[in-house]
Structures are given as C-alpha cells and as structure tokens.
Structure 1
Amino acid sequence: MLVIGLGRFGSSLAMELMTHGWEVLGLDSNPRLVQAYAETLTHTVTADSTDDEALRQIGANEFTRAVVAIGSHLEESILTTSLLVDMGVPHIWGKAISRRHGRILQQIGCHHVVLPEHDMGERVAHLVSGRMLDYVEIEQDFALGKTRAPREIIGRKLGETGVRSSHGITVVCIKRHGEQFTYATAETVPKKGDIVIVAGRTNDVERFAELN
C-alpha cells in the first residue's frame, strides 16, 4: 500500500494498515515526517509526489492501492492524484478537505474520496443532538445508528413490531448487558437496556433513536 502524505491523517492510516498486516510505503516531502515514521512503517521515502519521475522511481505505478492523504495543499493533492490516475493505479483513495475538493478529485479519476473532518463533524453532531450512542453514514442519506431499544419494541418479537413499515428502519444487531453484539432476527425479543443497531434512511434512523 502506498500512502502519500504523512500528516495526522496519513500517518494514522498508515500505522493502522500496518496493524492489519499490510506492508506500507509512506511518502512525504517533509524529511522530518519521513524520519519520524522510518522505524514504524515498512518503508518511507522523501520525495515530491507532484513529480512524475519521482513517483516512478519509487515504483508508484506498480502499486494496486494508493492513498493520497494530502489535504491542506489542494494543488499538490490534485496533481498527485492525477499522476496516479495516469499511471493506471487501479484503486486510489483521496483525502479532501471540502466537498468541492472531493468533486475535483472524482472528476480527475480518484476512485474513493474521503472527507474525514466533515464526516467526523457530521457524526458528532448526530451524537450530540440526539439519543444515538453511535452513528455511521454508509452513503448519502443512508446510515447505521446505535441506540437503546425503545419501549415500543421491548418484550415483543421484532417480526411482530412492524418497525420497518412504521419507522422505515431495520434492526440488524442487538446487544444485551455483558454480552457481545449478535444478529437480530424476526424472533429476537429485545429487553429493557438492550442496545440495538438499526439501518435506514438518515432521518428515519434519527427519529427511531428519538423514541427513547
């Protein structure tokens, strides 16, 4: 895996990939950052990622997956991504600092765009403003929400509660006190204090969490 940009996001991502068994080549134009992660990552190199020849010298064109974790310097982010696209790297992830930045990355051929600051802000906003214990947006207007089982489904089989027709959500997992999460079925009977994970349109997930 090639990770370009060893700032907070890039370095955290690179180290997490290492814990999952990936070999990671970390690249940055800042020698201090490269040195800081020289002992942590599989390989590190100081190079200008906007230089086509420099990328080819490190074998960037031979990687099947690359992450452009340059967020604050838009020109570098866009040029680097464009070079990787031209090299034919089949899976490119790009960090964007705004939706406009993300659209540009997609337009030049970036396969996956992430907006970590925006996504985290959106997630925290849902947690602070509602009764959800956790929240993850899978794609635009579809989310997973973690919340306590509301009173109306407690003591009843999920298949008999009609939550899908009445609230537009599906209870996919359930967790009892002292136990691990397990898949929910139509025969599952939630108890008071149970934690459930529900899936559905964002507004429906929010409204379901508010039933508490």
Structure 2
Amino acid sequence: MADTRGAAATQGAPRNPKKGAGVLVVGLGRFGSAIAATLDRLGQDVLAVERSPELVAQWAGRIALVEADATNPEALEQLGARDFPVAVVGVGSYLEASVLITGNLVDIGVPQIWAKAISAEHARILQRIGAHHVVLPEADAGSRVAHLVSGKLLDYIEVEDGFTVVKMRPPKETQGFTLAQSKIRERYGVTVVGVKSPGLDFQYATPETRISQNDIIIVSGHADLLERFAARP
C-alpha cells in the first residue's frame, strides 16, 4: 500500500514556485540527484522530492528539496507540483512507484514529463500513461559505450531516429585535403560539422576546411553511415 504521508517542507525548498518556472525532480537516486544537482549548478530553479529520510538528509542544504511521497497525489498538490512546467521522475527501480508518480503528474496536468525506465516494457507503460519523454539511461549508456570501444569513435550521441553526432579521428584518405576535395558527404552520406585542431579553437566546417592528421572532427549523419565512415583506415 502506498504511503499517504503529506509533503514535509525541508529548509530551502520553495513551497510556492512561480508559475511557468522551474523543474520538479522526483527521486534522488543516482539519476535524479545528478539531474537536480546539474540543473541547480546551471542556475535553474529546481525542487527535488524524495521520500527517503536518509537521502533527504544527504542532500539537505545542497539543493532545494521536500520530503514527501509523490505516489500520493495530495502530497504533490501540497508542494505545488502543478505549477511546474517540467517534471522528471527519477524513480526507476520500483516499477509501481514509478508508474503511480508519473500517472499523478499526468493527472494534474504537468506539461512536460520526463521519466526514467529500466526496461523496454517499463518504458512502454510510462509512454502509455502519458509520459512525454522516457529515458533508459543504462541501455543508452551501454549502446554508447559499445560504439566507443568498437572503433575510432571518441564520442557518440544518438539524437533521434538513427540521426547521430560523433567525435572521431579523420580517416587517412581525408587527411591533407579540404572537405571540398575529399567529398565526404557525396561519398559517405555524412557531414563534417566542425574541426578541432591541436592548440586551436573549435571551428565550424566549410568546403575550404582542410583536415589534418591530428585533428578531431565532429561528424553527423545516420548511425549506419557514420559507422561505415569511421571504419575507414
């Protein structure tokens, strides 16, 4: 049975957030606490909600937070959750709590809800009940690392529907040539967005940009095409 405790304010937590401002983060596990701390560091208005007294004590004084059980819709109403334009549900390991919290936020009309999932099935449930964005951090991290350890890629970010941006060393056949000369886009279907040369600032790429052996290039395109390009010697 869900805990029906109301919201208990913790020092430093805004009880009446400004309408249309701020991010509500529910759950201060590794995922939620990283989001809340980063948003706070970036100067964003953030309010964290956590039911564990131990985690509340750990984060007290570091970020604005409230000790409350977000599976209880009354608790969310008390802390003004409906006034936040964005909410992040960082609870993932407890499926029932994750679903209840997300459903509560949907019911009170939070415009944008991000939710953590721990499996594809969990993600489908969250999407069906109304989460606008579902994140599978472990699966995403595993996919990213797999791409990094398997080739010359230095970083890998999949944006959506296979469109990806990578950081990599240039293939030998491109070294010493301008982008116009090497015709990377025509030959491989990917686009060099920018170049970072040793000791110089990052530069956006133009047809006249010349690629050198020690450069790092930022390339965008479909994941399959990028992998093919990165596999070139």
| Structure 1 and Structure 2 fold alike (TM over 0.5) | yes
Query: Whole-Å Cα distance in 1 between the matches of residues 59 and 170 of structure 2?
Result: 44
Q: How many residues align?
A: 211
Query: Whole-Å Cα distance in 2 between the matches of residues 160 and 100 of structure 1?
Result: 48
Matched, 1:107 2:128: yes
Structure 2 partner of 1:33: 55
Query: Whole-Å Cα distance in 1 between the matches of residues 201 and 111 of structure 2?
Result: 37
- Contact kept, 8 Å, 1:26 with 1:34, in 2: the verdict is no
* AA of the residue aligned to 2:57: Q
Query: Whole-Å Cα distance in 2 between the matches of residues 50 and 10 of structure 1?
Result: 16
Matched, 1:195 2:219: no
Matched, 1:129 2:150: yes
After superposing the two structures, state which structure 1 stretch, 3-12 or 104-113, moved more: 104-113
Query: Whole-Å Cα distance in 1 between the matches of residues 83 and 53 of structure 2?
Result: 24
After superposing the two structures, state which structure 1 stretch, 67-76 or 142-151, moved more: 142-151
Tell me the alpha carbon deviations over residues 13-41 of structure 1, each in whole angstroms, 9 at most, x when there is no partner.
11000110012211111011012111110
Structure 1's unaligned 5+ residue stretches are: none
Tell me the alpha carbon deviations over residues 41-94 of structure 1, each in whole angstroms, 9 at most, x when there is no partner.
0x2111111111011001111111110000101111111111111111111110
Query: Whole-Å Cα distance in 2 between the matches of residues 56 and 105 of structure 1?
Result: 21
Query: Whole-Å Cα distance in 1 between the matches of residues 227 and 201 of structure 2?
Result: 24
TM-score under structure 1 normalisation?
A: 0.96
Query: Whole-Å Cα distance in 1 between the matches of residues 218 and 107 of structure 2?
Result: 42
* AA of the residue aligned to 1:40: R
CA RMSD of aligned residues (A): 1.1
Tell me the alpha carbon deviations over residues 120-147 of structure 1, each in whole angstroms, 9 at most, x when there is no partner.
1111110111111111111132211111
Query: Whole-Å Cα distance in 2 between the matches of residues 100 and 18 of structure 1?
Result: 32
* AA of the residue aligned to 1:192: Q
TM-score under structure 2 normalisation?
A: 0.88
Query: Whole-Å Cα distance in 2 between the matches of residues 141 and 13 of structure 1?
Result: 25
Structure 2's unaligned 5+ residue stretches are: 1-22
**How many percent identity over aligned positions?**
52
Structure 2 partner of 1:3: 25
Structure 2 partner of 1:17: 39
